[in-house]
Amino acid sequence: MINFQFNKTSLNDLGKQLKMREKALPTIKSKEAALRLEVKKAKDIEKQLDDKIEQTISSYEYMVELWGEFDTSLIEIEDVQLRSVKIAGVNIPQLDEIIYSEKPYNLFTAPLWIADGVEILKSLAQIGIEREIMNRKREILEHTRKKTTQKVNLYEKVQIPGYQEAIRKIKRFLEDEENLSKAAQKIVKSRIEEAS
């Protein structure tokens, strides 16, 4: 519901509001399209990372019996460093670096596959962390896209038509008022002429 008064000041204010929304609408629509594309890309990458995790795990199935002997305290994730990147005007987390802490082990007494096991765990951790970050990125983008879509709909379906209708009503009122004023002036003028 747009509040207005039947006067020229209100007409001018509504005109400015209407122009502002009409000017902003194409920009908001292009942002929505860009966000929609980025959400699709993020979903595709998430799917690729899921497939990559499964492929990596299945490629090491031959080592399943050996994992029981693996000392899981040999490697830990110490820190995950992220940075913020702007996509379509939205701040998105992006993986910068994963810092691992590795405990030393005796290369002569440890089984040969231990070094491979450490690298496999690093690889799986990398993919898993990338997957989680991509999931967060997609959630942020989807949320922003939904809000942008709501704004587009608000402008297109509610505010712009509302302002246009209010402007039409004010113009009609002012025209009617002007016509009545002219008619009243004519009546006064004709009565003055009749009286003289």
Could you write out the DSSP letters of every residue in the chain?
-----SSHHHHHHHHHHHHHHHHHHHHHHHHHHHHHHHHHHHHHHHHHHHHHHHHHHHHTGGGHHHHTT--GGGEEEEEEEEEEEEETTEEEEEEEEEEEEE----TTTS-THHHHHHHHHHHHHHHHHHHHHHHHHHHHHHHHHHHHHHHHHIIIIIIHHHHHHHHHHHHHHHHHHHHHHHHHHHHHHHHHHHH-
Instruction: Please indicate whether residue 103 or residue 136 has the higher confidence score (pLDDT).
Output: 136
For residue 86, the cross-strand partners are 91
Number of folded domains that form the chain? 1
Question: Does the pLDDT value for residue 168 go beyond 90?
Answer: yes
Query: Does 44 reside within a domain?
Result: yes
Q: What global pTM score does this model have?
A: 0.79
CATH number at residue 177: 1.10.287.3240
Q: Half-sphere exposure (CA, 13 Å, Cβ side) for 80?
A: 14
pLDDT, one tens digit per residue, over 90-131 is 999 999 999 999 988 877 777 777 888 888 889 989 999 999
Query: Does 195 reside within a domain?
Result: no
Out of 14-28, 55-69, 85-99, 138-152, which region has the weakest mean confidence (pLDDT)?
Answer: 55-69
Query: Does 83 reside within a domain?
Result: yes
Provide the pLDDT for residue 159: 96
In terms of residue numbers, what domain contains 104? 8-190
Instruction: Please indicate whether residue 89 or residue 107 has the higher confidence score (pLDDT).
Output: 89
Provide the pLDDT for residue 80: 95
Query: Does 123 reside within a domain?
Result: yes
Query: Does 1 reside within a domain?
Result: no
Query: Does 29 reside within a domain?
Result: yes
pLDDT, one tens digit per residue, over 23-49 is 999 999 999 999 999 999 999 999 999
Query: Does 125 reside within a domain?
Result: yes
Q: Give the integer Cα–Cα distance in Å for 62 and 4.
A: 75
Tell me which amino acid residue 78 is.
E
Provide the pLDDT for residue 71: 78
Provide the pLDDT for residue 104: 87
